[in-house]
Chain A
Amino acid sequence: MTASTTVVESSRPGDEAAVTGLITPRVRRQHQRPLVLTISIRGLSVLGVFVAWWLIARHVANPSKLPTPLEVYHNYGYLFSHEDLWGNLGDSLQRSLKGLIIGGSIGFALGALSGLTALGEESVDIPMQLLRFTPFLALIPLFITWFGLGEKPKIILLSIACATPIYLNTANAMRHVDRKTLEASRSFGLSGLRLIREVTLPLSLPGILTGLRFSMAISVLGLVAAEQINANSGIGAMLFNASGNFDTPTVFCCVVVYMLIGVCFDLIVALISALALRWRAGVAAR
């Protein structure tokens, strides 16, 4: 150790020219973000939306065309007492849940079939892709003539709409499970359903959950279309009717209800992820 230069401790590159152009590397560190900060920023972003809404409603837009947040809030009182918002919400959630379960199961099963086997992909993929681009809104009158005015056409419509996102994401996720991991598992004697249950399914779950989130959204957004059929109950029917009557406060109320449903659905998926994807900690890039 013959170097005679003194070294100044520093974290900035370029400061140590004394030692023949050597630098202290700048390290990209994973910072543990304080929870308070994370929650505040998320909260502020929501608050920002409401403030922007309020400012536009108050100063830019025509009051009859865009209600302020406060007017929308007051409108809820009316909707709860006169329009049975709770009852409508219950009807709607029941329908979307049925659609989600029926369509989701079918989509998942077909997706698994297509993702796991070449024969499966060859036989179901093209029909599913065609289904994905079918304009269902335009088919509503036909649905009525085929299935009547009751619950049936609504559930069928929602089921078909919910099936494709789960199908697409499941098939894709299962097709792209790491080949080497599968090979290793097979070499240890895993095969068939056991291989799927213990390796393929867990590893493709992130993708499947992405599909589930899309399907969940479609299951409630599809209500607007489905509940046009004999529009007498449901949040989608409420929205459809209010929109036709230019009842803007009610339209906004319904939109906010939709958003809250979306938040609840996302919480459900987050819960599933937290329970089922614990192995992923430390795998993600961020």
Chain B
Amino acid sequence: MTTTESSSMNSSSSPLAVRLQGVRRSFGDFVALGGVDLDMREGEFVALVGKSGSGKTTLLRILAGLDSPDVGTVLVPQRRTVVFQEPRLIPSKKVWRNVVLGLPRSAENRAAARKALEVVGLSHRENVWPATLSGGEAQRVALARALVRQPKLLLLDEPFAALDALTRRQMQTLIGELIENFQPATLIVTHDVEEAILLADRIILLREGHFAHEVTVDIPRPRRVGGAVFDELRLSLLQELGVDE
């Protein structure tokens, strides 16, 4: 696969948003990350694909500041937010309070919460308990919570894994639009090669704790599944992952 310069706005002149150098992390004898380098620029969307246990989530947790490497340099923006696999809403707080979790109580933040919920299409649900939301709604609240802080780095840990195919497609479109508007550096961890191609500027394939393969996605946005370039890219990635179709 050719690695060409991306046509989107993440030109190499944008300021650096993430720098990892020589990042290693092991759990007992298991080496989750075996010396990883990664630079991301502001506004860049990177997808991290790989099999289970390849170190994807470990890398994301290190970027989030939830875990630290055994050795290596980690440089990330101060403002970063995570959307986890599960919504992880606080069940004892109403939806809009979940969105402003940890922010100072103010009229501005209240308004910001309202706006963020509007963006994800949940204005009518702002005053209900999280337990009454459907899976897709809860995950959209989690997304609103991540966006309301206007992060410089947005981390998505398989955020659509638990959603049905239809909701997943809607969420992918939504995330694509939101990121186009807000322009954070975004890293998504996913199993789903199609999702990676739909969303990312750059796809990194992680295998046994190392970057095994890297491609730049050169398809103009908005993207849709299918087409010659898409299929070729998809096939090559699946081959790299060791999946035969």
Interface residues of A, Cβ cutoff 8 Å to B: 1-3, 7, 9, 13, 16, 19-29
Our count of residue pairs bridging A and B at CB distance below 8 angstroms stands at: 46
- In Å, the complex CA distance between A4 and B160 comes to 37
Contacts of A25 in B (CB 8 A): 64-65, 68, 74, 76
- In Å, the complex CA distance between A236 and B164 comes to 65
CB proximity of A34 to chain B, nearest CB, Å: 19
Interface residues of B, Cβ cutoff 8 Å to A: 12, 15-19, 21, 39, 64-68, 73-78
Tell whether, in the assembled complex, residue B16 and residue A7 are in contact, meaning their CB atoms are under 8 Å apart.
Answer: no
Contacts of B78 in A (CB 8 A): 13, 21, 23
Contacts A1-B39, A2-B12, A3-B19; is A23 near B67 (CB within 8 Å)? no
Please give me the residue from chain B that is nearest to A13 by CB atom: B78
Of listed A3, A7, A22, A26, residue having the most chain B CB within 10 A: A22
Contacts of B21 in A (CB 8 A): 7
Tell whether, in the assembled complex, residue B17 and residue A22 are in contact, meaning their CB atoms are under 8 Å apart.
Answer: yes
What are 5 contact pairs spanning A and B, CB under 8 A? A7-B75, A24-B75, A26-B65, A27-B66, A27-B67
Contacts of B16 in A (CB 8 A): 3, 19-20, 22
Contacts of A16 in B (CB 8 A): 75
Tell me the interface secondary structure of chain A in the complex.
loop
Contacts of A19 in B (CB 8 A): 16, 19, 75
The 6 A-B pairs with the shortest beta carbon distances in the complex, nearest first, are A25-B65, A27-B68, A22-B75, A20-B15, A9-B73, A2-B12
Please give me the residue from chain A that is nearest to B66 by CB atom: A27
Instruction: List 13 other contacts, CB 8 Å, given A7-B19, A20-B16, A24-B74.
Output: A2-B12, A9-B73, A19-B16, A21-B78, A22-B16, A22-B17, A23-B76, A23-B78, A24-B73, A24-B76, A27-B68, A28-B66, A29-B68
Please give me the residue from chain A that is nearest to B68 by CB atom: A27
CB proximity of A180 to chain B, nearest CB, Å: 11
- In Å, the complex CA distance between A29 and B39 comes to 25
Please give me the residue from chain B that is nearest to A24 by CB atom: B74
Contacts of A7 in B (CB 8 A): 19, 21, 73, 75
Please give me the residue from chain A that is nearest to B38 by CB atom: A1
Contacts of B67 in A (CB 8 A): 27
CB proximity of B108 to chain A, nearest CB, Å: 23
- In Å, the complex CA distance between A2 and B14 comes to 11
Please give me the residue from chain B that is nearest to A22 by CB atom: B75
Contacts of B18 in A (CB 8 A): 22
- In Å, the complex CA distance between A202 and B66 comes to 30
Contacts of B68 in A (CB 8 A): 25, 27, 29
- In Å, the complex CA distance between A26 and B73 comes to 12
Contacts of A26 in B (CB 8 A): 65
Tell whether, in the assembled complex, residue B39 and residue A3 are in contact, meaning their CB atoms are under 8 Å apart.
Answer: yes
- In Å, the complex CA distance between A73 and B123 comes to 70
CB proximity of B169 to chain A, nearest CB, Å: 25
Please give me the residue from chain A that is nearest to B131 by CB atom: A179
Tell whether, in the assembled complex, residue B77 and residue A21 are in contact, meaning their CB atoms are under 8 Å apart.
Answer: yes
Of listed A13, A16, A25, A26, residue having the most chain B CB within 10 A: A25
Tell whether, in the assembled complex, residue A22 and residue B66 are in contact, meaning their CB atoms are under 8 Å apart.
Answer: no
Tell whether, in the assembled complex, residue B39 and residue A22 are in contact, meaning their CB atoms are under 8 Å apart.
Answer: no
CB proximity of B219 to chain A, nearest CB, Å: 24
Of listed B17, B19, B39, residue having the most chain A CB within 10 A: B19
Contact pick for B77, options A2, A22, A29, CB 8 Å: A22
Contacts of B66 in A (CB 8 A): 27-28
Tell whether, in the assembled complex, residue B39 and residue A27 are in contact, meaning their CB atoms are under 8 Å apart.
Answer: no
- In Å, the complex CA distance between A63 and B184 comes to 72
Tell whether, in the assembled complex, residue B75 and residue A23 are in contact, meaning their CB atoms are under 8 Å apart.
Answer: yes
- In Å, the complex CA distance between A25 and B65 comes to 5
CB proximity of A82 to chain B, nearest CB, Å: 58
CB proximity of B211 to chain A, nearest CB, Å: 13
